[in-house]
Structure 1
C-alpha cells in the first residue's frame, strides 16, 4: 500500500507540474534508442540460446513479436523526436509511456518465466541473468520517469522473485532475495535521482522566471528612462541619444538632417488658470497631435515642460522645412478643450540643419534653440529656420554674457529715472528707476539685451541688488512725498529667500517701505505663479507697494489682478499710441481705468508722448501718467534740477512742441 501511495503521489506531482512533465519526456527521449537496443539485443540473445530447447512459439514467434513492438516504438520515436511538447501533450504522453512500461514489463516478464523451465541449468541461469541485466538497463533508461521506472521495477522483481522462491531451490531463493534487495536499492536510487532532477528543473524554472522578471524590470526601466510617461513620446534622454546617433551617421556618410525645437505659447497660463491637471491633459493632447504628424524619418520627443523636439532624418530644403514646420504649428494651434472651456494655444518651432548650422550635437541644438527664441520674440506660432542673423545674435549674446560675468557692476551699472506724473496736480508723484550698463569694451548696452542675458545666467540677482542699493540711496535725497518705482525680474521673486533679500535691502536703506513700489511684469508672474504670489505677498506685508507692469500684453492679465496683492496697474504703452485716434484703444483704456477704480487699485498710463494723448486719457479718468511728454529718463544728477522746475510749465512747453 505504501508503494502504491508513493506511485500515486509521484503521478500527482507530475500532473500538477506540466513543465516538469515536459522536462522528463525531453530527457527520456534521449534514452529511448538505448532502451530498445538493450531489449532487442538481450531478447534475441536469449531466444537464440533457447531455439533448440524451447518450443518455436516461445523461442521464435513470441520474442519476434516483442522485438517488432520495440522496433515500431523506436521508429515512432524517430518520427516525433523533434516535436514541441506542451503541458497538456506532455502529461498525456507521460501517462502513455507509464502504461507502456507496465505492459512491456508484464510481457517480457511473462515470456521469461515461460521460457525459464526449458533448457539446462546454464540456460536457466541465462534467463535469470537476462532479467537482471535487462531490468537494470531499462530502469536506468527510465530514471527520468520515476513512476514508469518504479512500476517496471515492481512488476519484474515481484513476479520473478516470487517465481524463484516457489521453485524451492536454495540457489534460486538466494537469487530472489538478492534481486529483491537490489530492487529496493534501485528504487531508492530512482527516488533520489528523480528528486535531484526535479530540483534542477525547478531551479531552472525559478532562474528563468527570475530572468524574465529581470527582463521585464529592465524593459520597464528602459521605458521609464526613454519614454515620457505623460505623453508616451520619447523623452529628453532618448532624443539626445537619437540626435548623437544621427550625427555620427551623418558625419560618416556625408549626409545631413534637421533638428527642431517646439515650444508652446500660452501653456503657462493654462496651468495657472485651470491647474496642473488640466495642463497635463493639454500636454497629452499635444503628444497625440505630434504623433499624428509622425511619418517615416520624423522623430518627436518631449524634452521637458512644454518643450518638444523633432528630428527630420533626411536633409530637407528650406521650403520643405517651412512647410513641415507650419503643418506642425497648425496642428498645435487648434483649440484645446480644458475643464469645459476652450483654450487657445500655439506652437513655435525653431529649425537648424546639421552640419551646416553646427558640427556637433551641442552646436546644432543651440542653433535650433536660437531660432526658437527668435520665433518666440517676433514670430509666435510660426516655424523659424536658423540663419546668419541668428548666428550674429548668438555671437553677440556670448560676448555680452562674457563681459557681464567679468564686469565691475558697481562701477559700470548706473540708473536713469523717469517721473510718474499727476495730471490733476501737474506735478511728479514718483520716479521709476531704469537700469543702464556702460561697459568699457562694449559701450552702452541696451537694457533689454543685458537684462535678458542676466536673467538666463542668474546674474540678475547681483544686478538687482546693486541697482536697488543705488536707487534707494537716490530716493533718500528726494522729498518724502515722492515714491521710488523699481523693476523686478522673475528670478528676483523665484524663491522666498530672494524676496526676503529685497525686503532687507529696503529696511537697511532708511527709506520707508511705503515709498518703494516694486514693479513686476505678467510674464515674470507666469513662470511660477504660486511662488510669485508668495514672494509678492511677503513684499506687500513688509510695507512696500506692488505694481503690475505692461498690463494687457499677456494672455490672462485679468486672472492675475484679483489673485495677486497688487496696489497699482500700469497700462502698457501699446494701448496709448493711438488712443486719441482709435476708438478700440480708447475703450480698452477706459475699461482698465474703471476696473482699477472698482477694485480700489491705482492706475498709471504709460507711453504718453503728445498733449492730445494726455487730454484723452485724462478725460477717460486717468490721473497718474508717464511718458516722454513729461520727461525722458534722466541721470540721477539731473533729478534735483527737474524737481525744482515748475512741472506745469514743462508740460506746457512739451504740449506746444
Structure 2
C-alpha cells in the first residue's frame, strides 16, 4: 500500500498549486514539443522517401505530423482559466498522450532503420536521440511524462542498437543512454527545485493572505462594534469626515444624528447586564434593518448610537425616517426572562446649517438629543437656530462658571420646612444662588445643570456645603439643615470622601444634617448610590429621597435604601384641589412612608386649601410659598425668632418659582 502511494505521489502533483504551476509552464512549451516532433519527423521521412515503403515514408509521417498540428492548435486555443480538477485531468491526459505518441514515434522510427544505406540508417539514430532530448526538455515541468517518454524511447533505442553488432551504433546507443541518464538527473533536480520554488511561493502567498486576514480583522476590530456589529465611534467620525470633504465640493447637505435609549440604565439594574447586552444587540439589528444606502448607523458607546444621512435635502422625509426609527425602538424587547420596553430619543444636526466640522455637528446633534430627552422623550429634535442661541448661552454660562470665584459669587437661600402640627419651623432647605458680575443672577436650574455637564458640580457642592453648615452652626440646635447632593456627588468616591470630611469637621452635629438625593440620581447607578448613602448614613446624618414620584424608581428598590424621609414632589400638589387623582397619589405615598417608618415631607404648598387637604391626608411636614419663599441667612434666622405668623404667605422673592425647587438638583 505504501509503495502504491509513493508511486502515485511520484507521478502526481503534491498540491493544487504545484499542478497549476506545472500546467502553466507546460502549456507554454507543449506547442514547441509538437513542433520539434513535426520538423524532425518530416526530415526523417524526407531522407527515406525513395528507400522505404510509402506507408512508412509518406502516410504514417503525414498522420503523425497531422496529429502534432491538431495538438498544437488544441493547446493554443485554450483561453478560459481552468479549475483545479480540470487541470489535473489535462495533466493526466498529457501523460497518456505521451505514452501513445512516444510509442508511435519510436515504433515508426525503428521501422525505418532497415531501409537505406549507412547514412540513412544513421539518420534514424540521430532522429531518435535528438528528438527525445528535445522532448525531455519540453516535458521537464511534467516529470511523469518526461520520465515515461525517456523510458519509451531510450530503452528500446539502446536495446535495438546494442544488438545491431555495429560498434558505431553500439557507441551511439551507450552515449545516448548516458546522456539521457544525465538529463534525467538534471530533470529530477530541476523538478525538485521547481517544486521547492512553488512551495516557497505558496508559503509566501499563505503568509501574505494571513497578514491580509489579520489586517482585515484588525481593521474590523478597530472600526466595528463587537456587540452590535455596527460601525464604531472611530468609523463614525471617519465617515463624517469623508462626507464633509465631498459635501464641501458638491454643496450637498447631510445629517448627523445621535440616538439614546431612554431607560436603559434601569434595565441593566433590574435585569442584569446580560439582558442589557441583549437589548443593545437587538437595537443594533433593528437599526441595521432600517439602514439603506442613504442611511448608516453606528454605536458610539453604551446605549448611544450614531446615524448619518448623506442626503438631507428633504426635511419631511428626514423626520419621517426619524419617526420610524423611534417607533422601531419603542417596540417590546422580548427576552426569555423578561419583556422589556423602552424608547429612543433622537437628536439631529444638518450640515452646513448646524456646523462645519465633525465635532461641532456631533456636539449639536447631542444638544438636540438632550433637548429631546428633556421635552420630547422618545421623539426627535432637529438642531435649530433657537437651539444655537441656547447653546451659545450655555457656553457663555459655562465659561463664566469656570472662571468664577465660587466662594464669593455663590450663596445660599433658605426655605423653611414646617411642622404644621406644632406650627413651627423644624428645618431649612439650602438652595443655591449665583450672582455673576457679568451675567447677574443666573437661574439655578441653568447653572447647576451646566456644572454637572462640565464636571464642576463637585467643587460647587463643596463650596455650598461649607456655607450651609456655617448657617447651621448659627441656628438653634433643634433646627436641621437639608442639603441636596447631585448624581455625580454620590457616584464619585473622591467627591463623596470630601463631603464626608467637610461634614466631620464642620462642628455641626450629624443628626441635624439631611442629605437629599433625587430619584434620578439613584436610578443612574443604583448600586453605587446605595453604597454612598450607607457611607453617609454611617456618619449619623439623615437621608431624604427628593422629588419622589418623578423618577420612575421601583418601590422594590426604595426599601433597600437607608432613608429617613421621602419628599413628595410639588407636581402632585399643584392640582390636588381639582380632583381625586392627585389626592390618591399623595395618600399612597404618605401610607408608604408610614409602612417604611420614614418621615414624609410635602413640597410646593402654596394655598390654605392645599394645606387643609394635605393635613386631611395625614401629612404634617411641609414647605412651600404658602409658608415662606426662600430667604437669605439673616432673614432665615429672623424667622426663627419671630416665627411664621398664622402661616400667611410672605413677600415674594425676585427669583422665579421654577428656580426654588432644589438646591443642587
| TM-score bracket, shorter-length normalisation | over 0.9
Please name the residue that 1:18 is paired with.
Answer: 16
Q: How does 1:230-269 map to 2 (within 5 A)?
A: 230-269=227-266
Please name the residue that 1:621 is paired with.
Answer: 618
Alignment partner of 1:523 is 2:516? no
| Residue 5 to residue 654, structure 1, CA distance change in 2 (3 Å) | closer
Please name the residue that 2:304 is paired with.
Answer: 307
Question: What 5-or-longer segments of structure 1 have no aligned partner?
Answer: none
Please name the residue that 2:68 is paired with.
Answer: 70
211, 226, 229: which one aligns with 2:226: 229
Alignment partner of 1:129 is 2:126? yes
Cα shift readout 1:35-81 (whole Å, capped 9, x = no counterpart): 011111111112212223333332222222222221221222233x2
Alignment partner of 1:51 is 2:64? no
Please name the residue that 1:651 is paired with.
Answer: 647
Whether the aligned pair in 2 keeps the contact of 1:22 and 1:85 (CA below 8 Å) is: no
How far residue 320 of structure 1 moved from its aligned partner, in angstroms, is 4.1
Please name the residue that 1:639 is paired with.
Answer: 636
How far residue 482 of structure 1 moved from its aligned partner, in angstroms, is 2.4
How far residue 145 of structure 1 moved from its aligned partner, in angstroms, is 0.6
How far residue 116 of structure 1 moved from its aligned partner, in angstroms, is 2.7
Please name the residue that 1:438 is paired with.
Answer: 435
Instruction: Between 410-419 and 447-456, report the one with greater CA deviation.
Output: 410-419
Provide the rounded CA distance (Å) in 2 between the counterparts of 1:199 and 1:282.
54
Please name the residue that 1:105 is paired with.
Answer: 102
24, 34, 38: which one aligns with 1:40: 38
481, 484, 508: which one aligns with 1:487: 484
SS at match of 1:351: strand
Whether the aligned pair in 2 keeps the contact of 1:536 and 1:546 (CA below 8 Å) is: yes
Provide the rounded CA distance (Å) in 2 between the counterparts of 1:381 and 1:48.
98
Q: How does 1:590-601 map to 2 (within 5 A)?
A: 590-601=587-598
Whether the aligned pair in 2 keeps the contact of 1:322 and 1:384 (CA below 8 Å) is: no
How far residue 350 of structure 1 moved from its aligned partner, in angstroms, is 2.3
Provide the rounded CA distance (Å) in 2 between the counterparts of 1:441 and 1:473.
27
How far residue 586 of structure 1 moved from its aligned partner, in angstroms, is 0.8
How far residue 439 of structure 1 moved from its aligned partner, in angstroms, is 0.9
Please name the residue that 2:655 is paired with.
Answer: none
Provide the rounded CA distance (Å) in 2 between the counterparts of 1:64 and 1:584.
113
Q: State the superposition RMSD in angstroms.
A: 2.5
Provide the rounded CA distance (Å) in 2 between the counterparts of 1:293 and 1:31.
58
| Residue 107 to residue 5, structure 1, CA distance change in 2 (3 Å) | farther
Provide the rounded CA distance (Å) in 2 between the counterparts of 1:83 and 1:364.
53
Please name the residue that 1:586 is paired with.
Answer: 583
Whether the aligned pair in 2 keeps the contact of 1:21 and 1:91 (CA below 8 Å) is: yes
Q: How does 1:147-226 map to 2 (within 5 A)?
A: 147-226=144-223
Whether the aligned pair in 2 keeps the contact of 1:274 and 1:339 (CA below 8 Å) is: no
382, 397, 415: which one aligns with 1:418: 415
How far residue 327 of structure 1 moved from its aligned partner, in angstroms, is 3.3
| Residue 413 to residue 297, structure 1, CA distance change in 2 (3 Å) | same
Instruction: Between 134-143 and 60-69, report the one with greater CA deviation.
Output: 60-69
Q: How does 1:563-574 map to 2 (within 5 A)?
A: 563-574=560-571
| Residue 641 to residue 155, structure 1, CA distance change in 2 (3 Å) | same
How far residue 557 of structure 1 moved from its aligned partner, in angstroms, is 4.3
Provide the rounded CA distance (Å) in 2 between the counterparts of 1:407 and 1:340.
51
Instruction: Between 494-503 and 279-288, report the one with greater CA deviation.
Output: 279-288
Whether the aligned pair in 2 keeps the contact of 1:551 and 1:557 (CA below 8 Å) is: no
SS at match of 2:505: helix
Whether the aligned pair in 1 keeps the contact of 2:419 and 2:620 (CA below 8 Å) is: yes
Please name the residue that 1:29 is paired with.
Answer: 27
Whether the aligned pair in 1 keeps the contact of 2:330 and 2:342 (CA below 8 Å) is: yes
Cα shift readout 1:541-572 (whole Å, capped 9, x = no counterpart): 33332222111112234243023332321111
Provide the rounded CA distance (Å) in 2 between the counterparts of 1:263 and 1:336.
16
SS at match of 2:604: coil
How far residue 330 of structure 1 moved from its aligned partner, in angstroms, is 2.9
Whether the aligned pair in 1 keeps the contact of 2:564 and 2:599 (CA below 8 Å) is: yes
How far residue 338 of structure 1 moved from its aligned partner, in angstroms, is 4.8
Please name the residue that 1:550 is paired with.
Answer: 547
Provide the rounded CA distance (Å) in 2 between the counterparts of 1:172 and 1:199.
40
466, 471, 477: which one aligns with 1:469: 466
Cα shift readout 1:469-512 (whole Å, capped 9, x = no counterpart): 22222222322222222111111122323222221221122323
Provide the rounded CA distance (Å) in 2 between the counterparts of 1:567 and 1:186.
103
SS at match of 1:627: coil
User: How many pairs align?
Assistant: 650
How far residue 136 of structure 1 moved from its aligned partner, in angstroms, is 1.4
Whether the aligned pair in 2 keeps the contact of 1:303 and 1:309 (CA below 8 Å) is: yes
Please name the residue that 1:392 is paired with.
Answer: 389
Whether the aligned pair in 2 keeps the contact of 1:28 and 1:144 (CA below 8 Å) is: yes
Please name the residue that 1:379 is paired with.
Answer: 376
How far residue 654 of structure 1 moved from its aligned partner, in angstroms, is 6.4
How far residue 421 of structure 1 moved from its aligned partner, in angstroms, is 1.8
How far residue 229 of structure 1 moved from its aligned partner, in angstroms, is 3.2
Cα shift readout 1:507-557 (whole Å, capped 9, x = no counterpart): 122323333222111222232232222222322233332222111112234
Provide the rounded CA distance (Å) in 1 between the counterparts of 2:614 and 2:93.
103
Provide the rounded CA distance (Å) in 1 between the counterparts of 2:7 and 2:624.
104
How far residue 348 of structure 1 moved from its aligned partner, in angstroms, is 2.3
| Residue 342 to residue 588, structure 1, CA distance change in 2 (3 Å) | farther
SS at match of 2:625: coil
How far residue 641 of structure 1 moved from its aligned partner, in angstroms, is 1.8
Q: How does 1:503-514 map to 2 (within 5 A)?
A: 503-514=500-511
How far residue 32 of structure 1 moved from its aligned partner, in angstroms, is 1.2
SS at match of 1:448: helix
Please name the residue that 2:654 is paired with.
Answer: none
Whether the aligned pair in 1 keeps the contact of 2:587 and 2:617 (CA below 8 Å) is: yes
| Residue 186 to residue 260, structure 1, CA distance change in 2 (3 Å) | same
SS at match of 1:53: coil
